[in-house]
């Protein structure tokens, strides 16, 4: 949301922001949003458990209050930032010429993937299964009711259009928000540090770190100076023993809740993204490349970004092959500078958010598809 809000404001659009929240946001957050918006409207979310007894996804049901907020203005466009805010289309006071859905994931696939994460609590996996079954019909309804769908993932856009060719006329790619002006140039390095940065409160990331430590880390110990560095926020949660064991390994370094990652990226030779499950896009790959690092990743770690295997990064899904790719980088056998340069140029060409949104709004205005009744 933040990236699109700032992009719209930078293009001169007047924006009202409506958010369903669990609790009143801090004064600093409210102040920051008001810098870019004409009006900020807040409503409170419903308890998640109530959604368990309905037919729509719990994520959407919890935001049902969006349908009852009084909207006094007529809008040129209403932008739904994610499928879960779909209840706003049920709001009788909503009047908008264009209805646009910015979808962050193929939500049914996202929750299905989450339900397979090793080590996830049984109740959470059950919840994810329920959501994955409810989202297909719900999301398809949103696709029908919206004039345009702006997908974060190139792969999911193509998959959706193959499954429902009618979506092709309204589906466009809007890449993950990324500030291309903050790109750091590639810096040659002779160290043997492999870096992973990600939220340490995420089960996907915990699974990825565990897989790397078990299957890949032992294969790289032949490099005398090799070390595996993990950095990320814990969200005040205790880490599982499978990650904490890094503190007892001289070839590992665990960095919790680092406020500034600039020097962390600078200290590494290569970034690894060993995630095994996920949908949408995995932004850590984008951030690493922008910070000047070559990336070795699994398929889920770069899927949907538009990046090309072998041109912008190295992709391996088998532990032995990923270890071999990392070894090749550490031995200087890969043109890492060329890969990083090509990938960063790709971001400059395709990830300029204000430019992308300006083009998409222009396409929308030329489509001659409109309607003021948000419930049609």
For residue 230, is pLDDT > 50?
yes
Q: What SS3 class is residue 70? A: coil
Q: Which two tokens stand for residue 238?
A: 């205790």
For residue 375, is pLDDT > 70?
no
Q: Which of 224, 167, 214, 159 is nearest to 191 (CA)?
A: 224
For residue 371, is pLDDT > 60?
no
Averaged pLDDT, 296-316: 95
Distance from C-alpha of 117 to C-alpha of 136, rounded to nearest angstrom: 21
For residue 338, is pLDDT > 90?
yes
pLDDT of residue 131: 85
Q: Please report the DSSP string for 72-138 in residue order.
A: -SEEEEEEEESGGGGGGGG-TT-EEEEEEEEESS-HHHHHHHHTT-TT--HHHHHHHHHHHHHHHHH
Q: Has domain 2-177+352-365 been given CATH number 3.30.420.40?
A: no
pLDDT of residue 53: 80
For residue 222, is pLDDT > 70?
yes
Q: pLDDT per residue over 180-209, tens digit each? A: 888 999 988 889 999 999 999 888 999 999
State the span(s) of the chain assigned CATH 3.40.50.2000: 2-177+352-365, 180-350
Q: pLDDT per residue over 55-107, tens digit each? A: 899 999 999 999 999 999 999 999 999 999 999 999 999 999 999 999 987 88
pLDDT of residue 78: 96
Q: How confident is the model at residue 280 (pLDDT cuts 50, 70, 90)?
A: low
Q: Has domain 180-350 been given CATH number 3.40.50.720?
A: no
For residue 114, is pLDDT > 90?
no
pLDDT of residue 23: 93
pLDDT of residue 21: 94
Q: pLDDT per residue over 237-278, tens digit each? A: 889 898 999 999 999 999 999 889 999 999 999 999 999 987
């Amino acid at each position: 949301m933040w990236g699109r809000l700032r992009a719209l404001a930078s293009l001169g659009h007047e924006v009202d922001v409506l958010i369903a929240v669990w609790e009143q946001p801090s004064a600093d957050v409210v102040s920051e949003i008001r810098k870019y918006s004409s009006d900020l409207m807040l409503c409170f979310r419903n308890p998640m458990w109530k959604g368990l007894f309905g037919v729509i996804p719990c994520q959407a049901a919890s935001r049902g209050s969006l349908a009852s907020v009084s909207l006094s203005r007529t809008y040129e466009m209403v932008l739904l930032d994610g499928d879960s805010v779909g209840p706003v289309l049920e709001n009788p006071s909503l009047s908008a010429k264009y209805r646009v859905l910015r979808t962050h994931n193929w939500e049914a696939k996202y929750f299905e993937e989450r339900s397979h994460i090793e080590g996830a609590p049984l109740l959470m996996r059950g919840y994810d299964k329920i959501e994955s079954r409810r989202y297909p019909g719900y999301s398809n309804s949103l696709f029908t009711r919206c004039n345009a769908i702006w997908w974060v993932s190139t792969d999911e856009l193509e998959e959706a259009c193959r499954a429902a060719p009618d979506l092709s006329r309204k589906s466009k790619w809007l890449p993950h928000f990324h500030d291309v002006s903050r790109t750091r140039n590639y810096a040659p390095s002779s160290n043997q540090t492999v870096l992973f940065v990600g939220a340490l409160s995420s089960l996907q990331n915990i699974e990825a770190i565990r897989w790397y430590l078990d299957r890949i880390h032992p294969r790289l110990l032949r490099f005398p100076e090799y070390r595996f560095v993990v950095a990320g926020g814990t969200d005040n949660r205790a880490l599982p023993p499978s990650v904490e064991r890094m503190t007892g390994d001289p070839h590992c370094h665990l960095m919790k809740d680092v406020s500034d990652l600039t020097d962390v990226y600078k200290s590494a030779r290569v970034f690894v993204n060993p995630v095994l499950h996920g949908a949408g896009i995995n932004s850590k790959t984008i951030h690493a490349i922008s910070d000047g690092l070559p990336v070795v990743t699994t398929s889920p770690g770069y899927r949907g970004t538009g990046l090309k295997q072998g041109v912008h990064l190295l992709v391996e899904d088998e532990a032995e092959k990923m270890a071999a790719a990392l070894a090749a980088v550490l031995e200087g056998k890969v043109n890492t500078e060329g890969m990083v340069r090509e990938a960063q140029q790709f971001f400059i060409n395709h990830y300029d958010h204000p430019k992308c949104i300006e083009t998409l709004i222009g396409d929308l205005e030329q489509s001659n598809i409109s309607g003021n009744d948000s419930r049609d």
